[in-house]
A = this chain, B = another copy of it.
Amino acid sequence: MKPLEVLQQNLHKRVLVEMKGGRSYRGVLDAYDQHLNLVLSTAEEVLGGQVTPHPGVTLVRGDSIVYISP
Contact = CB atoms under 8 A, between A and B. Distances in A.
Interface in A1-33: 1-7, 19-21, 23, 25, 30-33
A50 B18 CA distance: 16
A36 interface: yes
Nearest to A45: B67
Interface residues of A, number: 36
Nearest to A19: B66
B69 A57 contact: yes
Contact of A36 (B25, B32, B39, B61): B61
A25 B4 CA distance: 19
Contact of A31 (B6, B32, B61, B65): B6
